[in-house]
């Protein structure tokens, strides 16, 4: 995925962390998996029929690496005002 696409998905992850799933429905499967993993939303993964390992395997290595790089920091886990 392109950098601007990842930036957008990170905004969606922040929304999901805040309980807002409004922007999730229009995403592709890969994008939804990125969001679910970034938000640690196991219920979302289950609804899609994926385990964590399957979801990571569905993302290419570059996107999985970006996910880890972008969401590793604990302060990213809270939605900023």
- DSSP 8-state symbol, 18: T
Which tokens is 46 given?
């289950």
Find the domain containing 13 and state its range: 3-76
Report whether pLDDT(55) > 80.
yes
- The pair of structure tokens assigned to 63 is 């996107």
CA-to-CA distance for 8 and 57, rounded, in angstroms? 22
Could you tell me if residue 81 is inside a domain? no
State the Cα–Cα distance between residues 75 and 48, nearest whole angstrom. 27
Q: Does residue 69 lie in a domain region?
A: yes
pLDDT of 58 above 80: yes
The string of pLDDT tens digits covering residues 6-31 is 999 999 999 999 999 999 999 999 99
Global pTM reads: 0.87
Domain count, the chain: 1
């Amino acid at each position: 995925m392109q950098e601007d696409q990842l930036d957008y998905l990170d905004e969606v992850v922040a929304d999901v962390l805040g309980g807002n799933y409004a922007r999730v429905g229009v995403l592709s499967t890969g994008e939804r998996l990125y969001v679910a993993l970034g938000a640690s939303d196991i219920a979302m993964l289950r609804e899609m029929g994926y385990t964590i390992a399957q979801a990571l395997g569905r993302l290419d290595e570059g996107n999985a690496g970006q996910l880890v790089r972008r969401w590793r920091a604990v302060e990213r886990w809270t939605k900023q005002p």
